[in-house]
Structure 1
Amino acid sequence: REVMLGLARKDPRVRAIALEANHGQSAAFEAGFQAARGEIIATLDADLQNDPADIPRLMERLDEADVVNGVRAARQDDWVRRMSSKIANGFRNRMTHESVTDVGCALRVMRAEHAKRVKMFRGMHRFLPTLLRLEGARVVEMPVAHRPRRFGESKYGIGNRLFVGLVDVFAVRWMQKRHERWRSRDASEDA
């Protein structure tokens, strides 16, 4: 929090957003999306396992897509975490008919117009590329650096993700089948 406040004081483009309590990553993402004033939004975890220096490289690919999702190259996690992630990504992709290599990588850049339309329910950060596609976004992937965890401890493990993840994947599948993408305009301007 102090780091963000310091950055916000130095750069008027930076805004520090604080939720009144910890409501999880999905709520934090949605709060940031709604507060964003720029045309491009970047997300990353606070543990700095992803290198913020990769953001400009991701942004270079926005000429071909609306979302550039990072894929953790040479992932610096233990075998159990890497394998459970691989299995979860495979199951998630099979159920949602998607092909997201590494949905657990929070490092991504996206056009704000798409991010602001996504409704984030608890746990939906795990499906963000899929939800963005529902809103019409073109999603591409790109390898990004991944470093060993130096700060904090992961809040995610097999025990607290397995059952919730199974329920959530069926919820997302339901959303894919029921989602309607629409836009409105002021028809009085036609007169």
Structure 2
Amino acid sequence: MKYEFTIIIPVYNESESLKRLEEMLLEYLKKASKKTCVILVDDGSTDGSTEMIREISDRNQDIYRILFQENAGKGAALKAGFEATTSPLLGYMDADLQTHPEDFERLLVFANDYELVTGWRQVREDTGVKKISSLVGNKVRGLFINDGIHDTGCPLKVIHTQNAKQIPMFTGLQRFIPAMILLQKGRIKEVPVPHYPRSAGVSKYSFKNRFLGPLFDCFGYVWMKKTYINYHIKEKNTK
């Protein structure tokens, strides 16, 4: 079946959210403006999420699965989803439902004109610690990267698949997607999207992985920016 849009959802220990996630995905698939499928990428869950993902994908023809043998991180889960995508456009969201699949429609209207359309959570429904660590993390990334993005970590994005597949694999990939699209000379559009409070499960984020990890990753990005190879083929004649 030929799809126009693929939604990638990394999952790590989100068993309490998966039933509602399935319901919301099925509601969206019925009314999506593009023929859409979903890839659930289980990142080595240990709470029963793996079995639930297998059951969800078995009973729904437009929902597929990738199951990691062990926890490899969100960046790895996204990269696996990127590589498995065959549609011209892909998007991703988190499994915690703090963003909703129906809000992809807010982004898709701009997808023809931009290589990346990214959400901007102007009003955050998070704990105080999470808000502060995200704010500080965004400020630090802004100093290093200067990509002009207000909310680079928003887990609601639409990307041209060919651009997503060119993003190199590295830890913390999800924090640098706008910057990596800019390295490809891609165009970016930020669109305000709703943000919802977590209603089930437990957040996986802490000050360490919200601030310290991204801080160290920024040094790696600076090196990558200096050495990044970017080219566009004008013509080729190969077998």
Question: What does residue range 5-154 of structure 1 map to in structure 2 within 5 Å?
Answer: 5-7=55-57, 9-12=59-62, 14-154=63-203
For residues 27 and 188 of structure 1, the distance between their equivalents in structure 2, rounded to whole angstroms, comes to 31
Bigger drift between 36-45 and 126-135 goes to 126-135
Structure 2 CA distance for partners of 1:105 and 1:8, relative to 1, 3 Å: farther
Structure that is richer in helix per residue: 1
After superposition, the C-alpha distances for 1:33-89 in whole angstroms (9 at most, x for unaligned) are 000111110100010100111011210111221111111132101222212211211
For residue 174 of structure 1, report the CA deviation from its aligned partner. 1.2
For residues 42 and 8 of structure 1, the distance between their equivalents in structure 2, rounded to whole angstroms, comes to 22
Is the CA contact 1:5–1:16 (under 8 Å) kept in the aligned structure 2?
Answer: no
For residue 163 of structure 1, report the CA deviation from its aligned partner. 2.8
Is the CA contact 1:42–1:108 (under 8 Å) kept in the aligned structure 2?
Answer: yes
Structure 2 CA distance for partners of 1:3 and 1:18, relative to 1, 3 Å: closer
After superposition, the C-alpha distances for 1:132-168 in whole angstroms (9 at most, x for unaligned) are 2222321111111111111221211112343322210
**Aligned AA (1:18):** L
Is the CA contact 1:114–1:136 (under 8 Å) kept in the aligned structure 2?
Answer: no
Which residue of structure 1 lines up, in the alignment, with residue 236 of structure 2?
A: 186
Structure 1 runs (4+) greater than 4 angstroms displaced: none
Q: Which has the higher contact order (CA 8 A, sep 6+)?
A: 1
How many residue pairs match? The answer is: 188
**Runs of at least 5 residues in structure 2 that lack an aligned partner in the other structure:** 1-49
Is the CA contact 1:8–1:16 (under 8 Å) kept in the aligned structure 2?
Answer: no
Bigger drift between 97-106 and 47-56 goes to 97-106
Secondary structure at the aligned position of 1:17 is classed as: strand
**Aligned AA (1:10):** N
Structure that is richer in strand per residue: 2
**Runs of at least 5 residues in structure 1 that lack an aligned partner in the other structure:** none
Is the CA contact 2:73–2:171 (under 8 Å) kept in the aligned structure 1?
Answer: yes
Instruction: Give the TM-score normalised by structure 2.
Output: 0.72
Structure 2 CA distance for partners of 1:145 and 1:8, relative to 1, 3 Å: farther
Percent identity (aligned): 33
Which residue of structure 2 lines up, in the alignment, with residue 159 of structure 1?
A: 208
Structure 2 CA distance for partners of 1:32 and 1:188, relative to 1, 3 Å: closer
